[in-house]
Amino acid sequence: MDFKKIVFFLTCISILSCSQDTDISVARNLQEYMNENLNVEENAVFACAANASSNTSLTYIFYYPDAGASDIRYYELTEASLDKDNFINYKRESLESEMTFGNKLGRFSRSGSSENWCLVTYKINGVLRISDPIKLNNTSKATVYSNDVLINYKTTLEPNFTWEDTITNESVNYFQILTDEAQDFISGTYTEDTFFQYYDETNVTLNINDTTPPELVADEIYNFTTFGIGEDNWVNIIIEEQFIPLNLMEYVALNSERELDTLLAFAGNANGNKQETYIYFYPIEGAYEYRYYETENAMADPTEFANYKRRNLSHIPKFGGEIRRFSNTSSDELWCLVTYLTGGKLHISPAIKTKNLTRTTVWSTDINPTYPEVLKPVFTWSDTSFAESEQYFQVFTQNDDVFLSGTFTTETKFQYYNESNVVGKIHTDTPPSLVIDDIYKFYLYGLSVDNWVNLVIQKSFIAE
């Protein structure tokens, strides 16, 4: 066989191997792919799409693959103006895919802000299944992300979820997903209503559960997600919220053998950020099991423990660990409190009313010490224009944040190492003397009667 015949033979093999699967390298359309399959089911794959949170240039195409599904593909119109119902207009695209919600849903990721129609296919038991067309509306109708869902409880372990979809008002179905703290799948249901009772299928139109979902466990962390899906399978709204089935009254009852005691806690919004709330608390020696609770809104009765639901927030040490701080990414105004355990006691803080919007915390560095005595600086300040602070909390640290002292006054003046006007303190030993020319930090928190921080002043200074 001469060289030309060898080249011709190898070229034929290459052409035949490519034509066996249109895949990505050869421009074959969906209709041709369908023609190669004896059994085809249309409208047989649940799929929808949404843009990523705050990112209209990244679109997620979600799909539910039945157990045993294989050869999962993504197709898109070759031109956005073409007929979405004619499969000859769809070309396969290569997108990255991953599993989400405890490996129950798959998700393609599409980069770019262009809008188009797409769909998803897969094979199972010799059948090619095809989803309904999905309209990608990432720029003209960006998905709204929210955590605005009302969670009430029929019983401790039977949460009821109610939400509103008034922003777009175009959703015709709602897909609810419950996962545990590790994001393992618990249940997936569809309703046409904007409410769902776990686990009651009275208004459920479809579910993707293999078995009856399990009973929830009290005081465990769970996640609720709902997709508001339009006629074109675009997700108009995604609501995500954590919930923990056990309110504060029930938690107190579980600890009925413990003596109730109080603890110091207060809250203010982050510097220049009304959307983030800092909740500070003082953990006495031996404290553990730090918890944060909040009411649904500011209208709730702050004295009724049943109104408080736990949220699992992260917390960090401040001032060398003398104070700790929860962070809550929310501007909602409500009542909150902190609890922890010590020995045979359950400590519960007084209620804190958050005021991110109506009394935004003022942050300042406008203060300078005077020195009537060597190494005993005096700090004097003014309250905010609202003048609602009833107490002031002062903290001194070294430049490396090692805690020196923490005191409370009702006056707008404090001198280091002078406790004549101090009405409370958190240090247990006499604060150390300052060292001349060393750098220190002074912090001041103006606290209202409902434990909201009206004013924060922070200043570095050199001891004189």
What is the CATH classification number for the domain harbouring 59?
2.60.40
Q: Which amino acid is at 30?
A: L
Closest CA to 453 of 395, 396, 389, 394: 389
At which of 218, 243, 268 does a domain end? 243
Using CA of residue 105, residue 111, residue 114, residue 120, what is the dihedral sign? negative
Say whether both 265 and 293 belong to one domain. yes
* pLDDT number for residue 168: 76
Give the CATH number, domain containing residue 430.
2.60.40.10
**Cα separation, 400 vs 150, whole angstroms:** 43
Residue among 202, 173, 198, 172 at smallest CA distance from 187:
198
List of E strands, 78-217: 90-93, 96-100, 105-111, 117-124, 127-131, 134-135, 144-146, 149-153, 159-163, 171-180, 185-191, 195-197, 204-207
Asked if residue 377 lies in contact with residue 369, where contact means CB atoms within 8 angstroms, the answer is yes
* Tokens at 395, concatenated: 């903290």
Amino acid at 194: T
Asked if 441 and 340 sit in the same domain, the reply is no
168 with 225, same domain: the answer is: yes
Spell out the per-residue pLDDT of the chain, length 464, in tens.
454 444 444 444 444 444 444 555 555 899 999 999 999 999 999 999 999 999 999 999 999 999 999 999 999 999 999 999 999 999 999 999 999 999 999 999 999 999 999 999 999 999 999 999 999 999 999 999 999 999 999 999 999 999 999 777 899 999 999 999 999 999 999 999 999 999 999 999 999 999 999 999 999 999 999 999 999 999 999 999 999 999 999 999 999 999 999 999 999 999 999 999 999 999 999 999 999 999 999 999 999 999 999 999 999 999 999 999 999 999 999 999 999 999 999 999 999 999 999 999 999 999 999 999 999 999 999 998 888 999 999 999 999 999 999 999 999 999 999 999 999 999 999 999 999 999 999 999 999 999 999 999 999 999 99
Whether residue 181 sits in one domain with residue 210: yes
Question: Is residue 365 a contact partner of residue 381, using CB atoms and an 8 Å limit?
Answer: no
Q: Provide the 8-state DSSP code for 160.
A: E
Query: What distances in angstroms separate CA 181 from CA 96, 215, 219, 223, one per listed residue?
Result: 26, 15, 11, 7
Element (H, E) at 17: helix 3-19
CA 58 to chain centre: 19
Q: Hey, is 451 helix, strand or coil?
A: coil
318 shares a domain with 274: yes
Q: 383 with 434, same domain?
A: yes
Whether 212 contacts 200, CB under 8 Å: no
Residues 294 and 272 in one domain: yes
For residues 169 and 214, membership in a common domain is answered with yes
Same domain, 307 and 376: no
User: Is 416 found in the same domain as 444?
Assistant: yes
- Residue 172's domain comprises 144-243
**Angle subtended at Cα 144 by Cα 235 and Cα 47, rounded to the nearest 5 degrees:** 15
Amino acid at 22: T
pLDDT value of residue 16 = 42
215/256 same-domain check = no
- At 403 the pLDDT is 97
- What's the rounded Cα separation, in Å, for the pair 375 and 142? 59
Domain boundary among 194, 226, 243: 243
The reply to whether 119 and 20 lie within a common domain is yes
Q: Bridge-partner residues for 188, per DSSP?
A: 177
Domain boundary among 135, 159, 187: 135
Q: Based on the structure, what is the number of domains in the chain?
A: 4
What local confidence, expressed as pLDDT, does residue 23 receive? 53
